[in-house]
Amino acid sequence: MRIAILNKDRCQPRRCSKECEKYCPRVRTGDETIVFGDDGKPVISEELCVGCGICINKCPFDAIMIIGLPEALQEPTHRYGTNGFALFGLPVPRAGKVTGILGPNGIGKSTSVQILSGALVPNFGQGTGDWDTVLEHYAGTALYDYFRDVVSGKFRISQKPQYVDLIPKAFKGKTSELLGKTDERGVLNELVDYLELRGVMDRKISELSGGELQRVAIAACAARDSHFYFFDEISPYLDIHQRIKVARLIQELSKEKAVLVVEHDLAILDLLTDAIHLAYGEPGGFGVITHPKSVRVGINQYLKGFLPEENIRIRTEAIKFEVHPPTDTREFESRVSFGGFSKQYGEGFSLKATGGNLRDGEVLGIVGPNGIGKSTFVKILAGEIKPDEGDPNIDVKISYKPQYIKADIQMRVQDFLRGISRQFGTSYYEVEIAKPLQLEKLYDHMLMDLSGGELQRVAIAACLSRDADLYILDEPSAHLDVEQRSMVTRVLNRFAENNQKTAMVVDHDIYMIDMLSQRLLVFEGEPSVYGEAHGPFSMENGMNRFLENLGITFRRDEETRRPRVNNLGSRLDREQKESGNYYYAATE
């Protein structure tokens, strides 16, 4: 089975010579394989298309995809019209369970949730859908009972949106006013205390940080009295301790309710869910939701890139984790160093940092809880903020990507990047930055039209495009899916090593820090009161110190070597704490 996809946002028939029709061999023989609709854009006949791929290569705006589907796929669950995105399969929410969806962005996860919430009626690829057909289609399955309750109107649904930074645009009042409207279960006070929101209740939503907005959105979703709860990405802007607390909150919520979670932090997804559905396909083209799998098996299959039950390879290479061997420090030169300094915000937060040396060609990870001064630290290094005492005295060029990215200029992506680097468009730039960060399809987009994940990739590219000696990236994993996070780690490591540059990365994704870093800078203290920067340490010493402060232990999966959070109080958790090996067991 073959499908043709037209990205109507990218297609611009007034700016091209209709190359798709002009060069189509079937059209040239007289067939109407490509015709033009009332909107002036092409309509591709999937029955007549032979899959030659000429239209794909000739389209100047890269707006066409011709995709050969796996043989097992027959009828789509939903399709967005002729030459539109097709979704195959649906996740199955189960009462008393947390069900996860793991897959790349643009693969149909949001479409699945729209269908499960009743906002979108699946049409099975046949124009307009209706609920009678849906119920008939799923008769005798678990989804029949689910959709029957949705159609009857008895089924209440609560959703947490993916992009919490858009909340201030929709609501202008105080936090207490927003949350007060959601307290249908009478548990708001407990949620506010558990999620540590008491201090922001009288503040305006527009004044909250990303982490505060995330916790407010989670509280608002959990406070409603619903049958089905959907959480779309709980981890952005939260530290590892906060992520684990939220995971335990959702597990408690699921004891009598059905919960569905989309999450790209695999350590949290592993800890949180009872079963997962994998999603694969072609972003923007088609998506497939698999049958449920056990959590460990599903994540390992996803990392390996091969799904045995479906007999599908979803990735050419496995995502690999390696145990960090001891490093001989004599192999590295240290051209970048910084001095000690301190910063005091009135009678509030204070930060102290000792000096240190940074090695050429290394990526230094920066870890610690939120509100401990990590972003303040890197802003001082980058010259964005002045310290009160001391001076980092970094006599090198610095390129800095901030934690919160704003696209406030009306400019095309390619013009933005071309204005930063003369190397833009060269083979080096395309191979080392543009292609691995999947930027080609974004070149003609305006910065203000990009999604959170797209803007993040452009910001990373912009940071690496500048001529500098030290590259500082604050939370580059936010809004990126698993593949994109793995891709970013490879790009950063290759860039630092090949160019003998130094990179510093602040992030809360343990998987990303594990794959990315050679050494660690660890922040300690009391959040929102004071913070101290310690290190750099080796990965083992740094992670042991960081995790001991949090009271959390990790083990490695025997099959893939990925980090896994130990259940609090479990045998392995107790043994590792007694031995002092918080960062994996001593035998590993």
pLDDT in tens, 166-217: 899 888 899 999 999 999 999 999 999 999 999 899 999 988 888 899 999 9
In sequence order, which residues have a C-beta less than 8 Å from that of residue 287 and are 6 or more positions away?
A: 85, 86, 87, 88, 103, 106, 107, 108, 109, 111, 279, 280, 281
- Percent above pLDDT 90 for the chain: 67
Mean pLDDT of the chain: 90
Looking up tokens 């289609």 gives 137
C-alpha to C-alpha distance for 230 and 211, rounded to whole angstroms: 19
- Percent above pLDDT 70 for the chain: 97
pLDDT in tens, 359-377: 899 999 999 998 899 999 9
Q: What φ, ψ does residue 361 adopt, rounded to 5°?
A: 80, 10
Structure tokens at 251: 């597990």
User: How distant is the alpha carbon of residue 251 from its chain centre?
Assistant: 21
In the prediction, which pLDDT does 332 show? 59
pTM of the complete model = 0.87
C-alpha to C-alpha distance for 527 and 529, rounded to whole angstroms: 5
Q: How far is CA 109 from CA 55, 89, 168, 302, 478, in A?
A: 29, 11, 24, 16, 18
CA-CA-CA-CA dihedral for 544, 546, 547, 548, to nearest 10 = 80
C-alpha to C-alpha distance for 496 and 47, rounded to whole angstroms: 49
In the prediction, which pLDDT does 451 show? 86
In the prediction, which pLDDT does 476 show? 94
Residue 586 in this model has a pLDDT that exceeds 50: no
C-alpha to C-alpha distance for 478 and 237, rounded to whole angstroms: 7
Q: Are strands 519-526 and 530-538 parallel, antiparallel or unpaired?
A: antiparallel
Q: What φ, ψ does residue 99 adopt, rounded to 5°?
A: -105, 130
* Element holding 554 (H helix, E strand): strand 554-556
Contact 457, 437 (CB under 8 A): yes
Judging by beta carbons within 10 Å of its beta carbon (0-12, 13-18, 19+), is residue 193 exposed, middle or buried? exposed
Structure tokens at 313: 């390879």
What is the rounded average pLDDT of the residues 155-174?
88
- Exposure class string for 423-441: b at 16+ Cβ within 10 A, else e: bbeeeebeebbbebbebeb
